[in-house]
Amino acid sequence: MKRTFLLLIFPFLLWSCNSANQEGKLEDGVYTYEKLDWEIEIPEGYSVRKAQKNPAKKGAVNLVSFEIDPQNYFASSVEPLKNSKKLTPQQHQQFLAQVIKESYSLVEGVEIKQDLSKELIGNFYFYTIETKVLDSKTHELVLAQRFYNTYLEDREMFSVLINYTSEEVDSTLTENFKRSLQKA
C-alpha cells in the first residue's frame, strides 16, 4: 500500500515545487513577496524546499516552500490563468477536489474524507479543500492535505498547500499561514 500511495502523492509533490521560477526574497527566516505585500515566517525546525521545474505548469511561480520532512510541508505559488478555461472559484474547487478524490480512491486500504469550504483570511477569500487519507482498518491518519486557492486581479491564482501527518504539524503550518495574511 505504501508504494502505491507514494506514487499517487507524487503529482501533488510536483505541484508543491511547481516551477524553477522563484520570486520574492528570503531573509532572516522570513519570506517576502512584494506583489501581494505578503510576509511569512519559516517556522523553527523547518527547512526551505528547493524549487524544481514542472513543464506542465508554464508561467507558474513557486513563492516559498518549507518542510519538516517530505510528508509535512507548506508550499505556495502563483499561477497565471490567462490561457486556461474560465472557471469560477467554486468550479475550480470542485474540479480539484474530484481529481484528488479520484486519485486517492485508487489506493487500496485507505478511506478518504474530504471537506470543501470558503474562508476569509486577511483580505483574501480562499476556497479550501481538505482531504484526509485514513487507514481503512485502524482509521488512523495516514496523510492530510489542505489546499487554499484564491483568484487575484490579474487572472492569477494564489495557492497554498499544507501537507501534514499530525495535528501538531497542521496547527503549526495553518496558524503560521493565517498569521502571515493578517499583515497583508
- Cβ proximity of 149 and 93 under 8 Å: yes
pLDDT value at 113 more than 70 = yes
d(C-alpha 39, C-alpha 174), whole Å: 14
Q: At residue 85, what is the residue type?
A: K
C-alpha cell read off for 59: 508561467
Single pTM value for the model: 0.85
- Cβ proximity of 110 and 131 under 8 Å: no
pLDDT value at 167 more than 70 = yes
The mean per-residue pLDDT over the stretch 77-99 comes to 87
pLDDT value at 75 more than 90 = yes
The mean per-residue pLDDT over the stretch 16-21 comes to 42
DSSP state of 166: S
Q: At residue 121, what is the residue type?
A: I
CATH class of the 2-183 domain in this structure: alpha beta
| pLDDT band at 19; cut points 50, 70, 90 | very low
The mean per-residue pLDDT over the stretch 39-59 comes to 80
| pLDDT band at 133; cut points 50, 70, 90 | very high
